[in-house]
Amino acid sequence: MSDDPSPLAVLRRLTADGLPLAPVHAATHAELTSVERGCCAARLPTVTGDGLLESLLILADFTLGVSYSSTLRAGDRIVTVRLGVQLLGRPLAGEELRATAQLDDASSGVGLSSATVTDREGRPVARCVGRNAVLTDDLAGRYGRMAPTWSTRPTPWRMLMPHRGEDPTRDGTTMVAHPDATSLNSAGVVQGGALAGLAARGLSHALDVIPDDFSISFIRPVRAAGQPVMCRVVVEHGGRRLRVGRAELVDEQGRLYAVAGGTAFRH
């Protein structure tokens, strides 16, 4: 087998051997099924009773990142900067989601990718966009030090990010989560899709409906499993038909991990 160290060659070997890329993928059974330069496909089972948007965010972030990673040089690693999802349908919980992604543009160490998520029958579930940047800090050196193995069964998102809700206040509602070790990415931090799910769940609770349009910008990762993450949500508009909310993910000192927005429209 080739010893080519390029990201594309490594991804192809992992796909051929049926191996997970990171602890979060091993836990959720997010599986890369094919990869070429600038494009990839993957699948993810959903768990009955768990949040479909949260699972979808993990799959979307996975494929959007791989589509860019597959074009990079050996030693280059990426971090998710922004992730956006527009829902088109509501698949049944417990069904498999499938995604195909492609790199649309890359310049100055930043890649813009798009993806389509479908159900197992090929019906579109969501359109997704992601912006990823090549790492230049110490996180890059931590990649590749973990060798995850598949969990016995898919882990629901709520087990990746154990959380509880706080009483609503005048300024909004809050959820507190303690990420499990299985939510870590290849660099040993919590970032991207698994973290986005917390903002999505907070917005869903505050708006009393799953957002049709969700986007999140990442500022810093959660450096260690178990570290408290607060999701603070404010409903900007709570009409009967249109509902708009904003969420912030922060640490105990109030430092931002990510900021997100969600919109839901009822006919």
Across 171-182, average pLDDT: 85
Q: What is the strand order of the sheet 173-177 is part of?
A: 31-36, 39-45, 96-107, 110-118, 124-134, 78-87, 213-218, 256-265, 242-250, 229-238, 173-177, 163-165
What pTM, to 2 d.p., does this model score? 0.93
pLDDT in tens, 9-47: 999 999 999 999 999 999 999 999 999 999 999 999 998
Indicate the pairing of strand 213-218 with strand 124-134.
Answer: unpaired
Give the model's confidence band at 170: pLDDT under 50 very low, under 70 low, under 90 confident, else very high. Answer: very low
Q: Looking at domain 7-137+154-265, what is its CATH homologous superfamily?
A: Acyl-CoA thioesterase, double hotdog domain (2.40.160.210)
Which residues in 88-179 belong to E strands, given as ranges?
A: 96-107, 110-118, 124-134, 163-165, 173-177
Percent of the chain at pLDDT above 70? 92
Q: Which pLDDT score, from 0 to 100, does residue 6 have?
A: 87
Which token pair is 56? 């979808």
Q: Are 203 and 247 in contact (CB under 8 A)?
A: yes
Query: In terms of Cα–Cα distance, which of 177, 197, 258 is closest to 47?
Result: 197
What CA–CA distance (Å, rounded) separates 192 from 220?
A: 10
pLDDT of residue 1: 43
Tell me how crowded residue 169 is: count the other CB atoms within 10 A of its CB: 9
What the block records as the tokens of 173 is 């509602």
* Residue 107 confidence (pLDDT): 94
Question: Average pLDDT for residues 85-110, to the nearest whole number?
Answer: 91
Is residue 164 very low, low, confident or very high in pLDDT (cuts 50, 70, 90)?
confident
Q: Are 94 and 28 in contact (CB under 8 A)?
A: no
pLDDT above 60 (res 167): no
Tell me the domain boundaries of the chain.
7-137+154-265
